Structure 1
């Protein structure tokens, strides 16, 4: 009788129901395996940055190239890369480095300088406000700044140039997502720099076209007294789970930069969960 009781107790302790009860709340979340959560999400292309924060130990490298032409501005080609690293306490650190392939000449006391080459490096952190990494509604704060005296001579600046964004994403079904940003950036830390600051608002929809391909489309506005408004659209392809390639096109529809068009492409690679 005693032996039978011990065997019954061992069977109960090893049952799936009790094993599940020992999992964390996040592991028991039914949304943990949703394609929108598990698929590779990038902070590019377009103006919208995803509310997703990388989990600890995950690295993600995002690179891209964009050509800007038409409109009143200077036709320009730009490339760059962003390294994102998942840290503890629901935080992600990031470093970006843009590169301008061509630019106008700037007159100085010592002669003219070409505004091309490496732009100032940008460092920042993304902080998750959502209860876990897999919730259907994700909210995060992104804080960044250009680093003083970094970049090429014609592009570097003397002080910090801070910016901040509130990032929100809402999962629709299992695969689609609606993402929005609201932010503000300024060229320095002094009070008068706030008067030169720029507001930014974006709204983007993304979803699948097939098992490995998908689309995104966004609308945005940036500026202060008069907003530049525009749209960006594109498609992306994931040949394997940790790699994503995207192609984009956009146009500024209103404001001082109206008529400006952009085309570009990018590559994203991740390591870790």
Structure 2
């Protein structure tokens, strides 16, 4: 009897320890199945980039088209695609290729050319700082740069042009999220280029309107001595879990670009759970 009692007690005490030892930090995270982290979180539209870092082996392709008009600048049509790849060591690799459908005439060594065609290719990475992929508060650092020698004749990059951002995301409830960015970009890598750089700050709220549809609203500011401030808002729908469609509209309300309006649409695909 005493032997049976001891064996039973050992089983009761030992089982939880074995179970916990076999589970990973992700499996023990009660937030892992929250809709906010399970649904597609795209780095578009708007100025704000999500703090989410894709897990290893996951891929996400984000494409979009935007029309910009009004204000003091020439009306332009732009499109771009970003490929995001989940990598090891809490890292995400990113490649972005843009295309400018029209632009102002520029003088180059080859003569007058219109600033249209492929923009410089941008490569970068996100590095996760938060303890796991699905925590309610997520923090990451993103660094990117245009690649010298890439892009069409009038748009070609001649030097590295680095950008850095601190990305912070806070989950509200199970489905809503607040995303914040603070960053700095400069047109080159020399000391003089630092004085030409621009700061960026943004705050965005997104959440559901139904099981498959949701909204996005953002406030942003960018510039240096004079700050351009504005808002972007949009709607998105997920016809299937691995796809998201969105439409957006934005307005610069203050600064040198005041009066500039943007409208756009995008499509996002996700591969991997």
Q: SS where residue 150 of structure 1 aligns?
A: coil
Corresponding residue of 2:64: 64
Question: How far apart are 1:240 and its partner, in Å?
Answer: 1.1
1:48 and 2:48 are equivalent in the alignment: yes
Aligned mates of 2:25, 2:204 — CA distance in 1: 30
1:108-152 Cα deviation digits (max 9, x unpaired):
343201100000000000000000001110000000000001010
Q: SS where residue 37 of structure 2 aligns?
A: helix
Corresponding residue of 1:149: 149
Corresponding residue of 1:74: 74
**Most deviating of 228-237 and 17-26:** 17-26
Q: SS where residue 187 of structure 2 aligns?
A: coil
Q: SS where residue 165 of structure 1 aligns?
A: strand
1:139 and 2:160 are equivalent in the alignment: no
Give the 5 Å matches for 1:169-180: 169-180=169-180
Corresponding residue of 1:195: 195
Aligned mates of 2:166, 2:153 — CA distance in 1: 32
Q: TM-score, normalised by structure 2?
A: 0.94
Aligned mates of 2:238, 2:139 — CA distance in 1: 25
Corresponding residue of 1:33: 33
Q: SS where residue 98 of structure 1 aligns?
A: strand
Aligned mates of 1:107, 1:60 — CA distance in 2: 38
1:168-218 Cα deviation digits (max 9, x unpaired):
000000000000000000000000000000000000000000000000100
Aligned mates of 1:15, 1:78 — CA distance in 2: 59
Aligned mates of 1:80, 1:110 — CA distance in 2: 26
1:213-264 Cα deviation digits (max 9, x unpaired):
0001000000000000000000000111110000000000000110000000
Corresponding residue of 2:83: 83
CA RMSD of aligned residues (A): 2.0
Aligned mates of 1:108, 1:79 — CA distance in 2: 24
Aligned mates of 1:194, 1:175 — CA distance in 2: 39
Aligned mates of 1:244, 1:154 — CA distance in 2: 33
Give the 5 Å matches for 1:1-273: 18-273=18-273
**Most deviating of 160-169 and 100-109:** 100-109
Aligned mates of 1:105, 1:180 — CA distance in 2: 36
Question: How far apart are 1:104 and its partner, in Å?
Answer: 0.8
* Gapped regions of structure 2 (runs ≥ 5): none
* Gapped regions of structure 1 (runs ≥ 5): none
